Structure 1
């Protein structure tokens, strides 16, 4: 080769090869460094090796206090058992098989999901009794449901003749079966039939069509999130339970007694769980709680397990600071947040709630906060943010950091 190529060309080729090899080694070194960093983060030493979470991870960080999480799960399980109702928690809040297994360990009889993909992920993680609290439409989604129903118990909501017929049709000639829960509108005015007569029509159709089992009726009293006081939350819960009792009686009179009367929302869980005729509750947010639950009186500050850790990165003028958590972390969901809620989250600094601080607007990576001009919040300070809606924040995260006493203790993957 040396005899056939000019020396200058040979040297040039060797330099190119050298730079290429250097580049490859650099990439290898970078990958190795990243791998070792991740290994250090994932290796949990319960003795001397545990480091403070702020030295381990970069902000913004979605954290879950495991002690609070476990207490919340245990309390709801005890409540359901004490009142003789089944607990089928909604896992859309966390989308984590780790947390769902904790819920089963504390009395949950099965789980609720919002999407077919969530059902698929939980089935893959070993869960065998899954209710999809959603009216599923779409051939590909229905086909996936049919496949899942061959190996696990699948229940699904329905509120239309079209939906029920499609559920039966997709099962085809297979031996698989699906449980159907007729969705009732108890005041949210989203999905659900609005009368007992309509519920009877659907229950009769479910019983007539192959592959389907009429299991009962369900509702989501989500309009409780718009309540302006705990008294209004209670009123909404009781009225919704009364509607469910009435429709259950109409179904029974028509020859279709529901074996399950299921209600679901965290604000009303402790209300409807005590109501006569209700056999199942499906709260979800209770594992984390959030600013919404605080405003509604459904939770206390010390029950808020999910928090976003952020840095103050700018202080352009007195009365305005900027956090390094924006809409990609907190979401831009304002929604219905009860009385007196402003902004995109509740800020806590050094254990003190900054009532006067309002996260008034978000960019993708910036949270702009207005506060008192004489506030001592400064660049470099670390704050906690209790988000308005914990479910959306968890959904935006790929992984949540499980912490105990401010130290990294576990990783919680978000699986769907």
Structure 2
């Protein structure tokens, strides 16, 4: 883990939470941590990008147990993210994904609450946080770019255009229709270095 020195420095200064999804990462942390950290287990709700599949309760339990057994780690909770909600474009489809994610939280709470009382159950994706009103079982919300929004969120149905906090106008400097691409005059300096 290349960032280990930074992790250790931060753990000296703040209450640090780290997200893990596999035993190998926990092993590296166990070997190198010198100060306490809080461990969050990343759970895959169906997006299939990162996280332990929500149905793999044994792996989730194993990760939490490993953290609990180490003097410098405390199980903080599970983080579940319905990232596939970004791929749909109707409120009904977003709601279906959200309900399935809440079902995952219910499954996790039922499976983990006796052995790990006080765990946090964190969820969040901007489409669901923007369009849904029920979050039963969650103890924390992480709504992504919810407070800023963007055009992608508008096309999904998360927000109106006038709810976007920041817009950048970038001139098109080249068109490549054969690749379905355009090149704009806008990059690192324009978006993040000023």
Please classify the TM superposition score into its range, dividing by the shorter chain length.
Answer: 0.7 to 0.9
Runs of 4+ aligned residues of structure 1 deviating over 6 Å after TM superposition are 392-395
Deviations 1:135-190 (Å, cap 9, x if unpaired)?
A: xxx1x30221111011111101111111111122221xx3x110001111101111
From the CA coordinates, give the structure whose radius of gyration is larger.
Answer: 1
Deviations 1:70-103 (Å, cap 9, x if unpaired)?
A: xxxxxxxxxxxxxxxxxxxxxxxxxxxxxxxxxx
The corresponding residue for 1:398 is: 193
**For 2:64, which of 185, 203, 212 is the aligned residue?**
203
**For 2:89, which of 228, 249, 263 is the aligned residue?**
228
CA distance in 1, matches of 2:146, 2:139: 19
Which structure has more relative contact order (CA 8 Å, sep 6+)? It is: 1
Q: Say which is worse superposed, 158-167 or 262-271, in terms of deviation.
A: 262-271
Deviations 1:258-290 (Å, cap 9, x if unpaired)?
A: 521001211111466632110111112123211
CA distance in 1, matches of 2:66, 2:76: 13
Q: Does residue 362 in structure 1 map to residue 182 in structure 2?
A: yes
CA distance in 2, matches of 1:278, 1:225: 20
Say if 1:143 and 1:170, in contact at 8 Å, map to a contact too.
no
The corresponding residue for 2:42 is: 183
Structure 1 residues 272 and 209 mapped into 2: Cα distance closer, same or farther (>3 Å)? farther
**For 1:165, which of 24, 27, 30 is the aligned residue?**
27
Say if 2:42 and 2:79, in contact at 8 Å, map to a contact too.
yes
CA distance in 2, matches of 1:394, 1:300: 28
Say if 1:273 and 1:281, in contact at 8 Å, map to a contact too.
no
Structure 1 residue 393: deviation in Å?
A: 8.0
Number of residue equivalences: 189
For structure 1, the residue ranges without an aligned partner over 5 or more in a row are 1-137, 311-322, 328-342, 344-359, 367-391, 400-416
Considering only aligned residues, what root-mean-square deviation do their CA atoms show, in Å? 2.6
The corresponding residue for 1:245 is: 106
For structure 2, the residue ranges without an aligned partner over 5 or more in a row are none
Structure 1 residue 361: deviation in Å?
A: 3.0
CA distance in 1, matches of 2:135, 2:144: 19
Structure 1 residue 257: deviation in Å?
A: 2.8
Where do 1:41-52 residues align within 5 Å?
none
CA distance in 2, matches of 1:297, 1:263: 19
CA distance in 2, matches of 1:141, 1:186: 27
Say if 1:181 and 1:217, in contact at 8 Å, map to a contact too.
yes
CA distance in 1, matches of 2:77, 2:68: 12
CA distance in 2, matches of 1:168, 1:272: 39
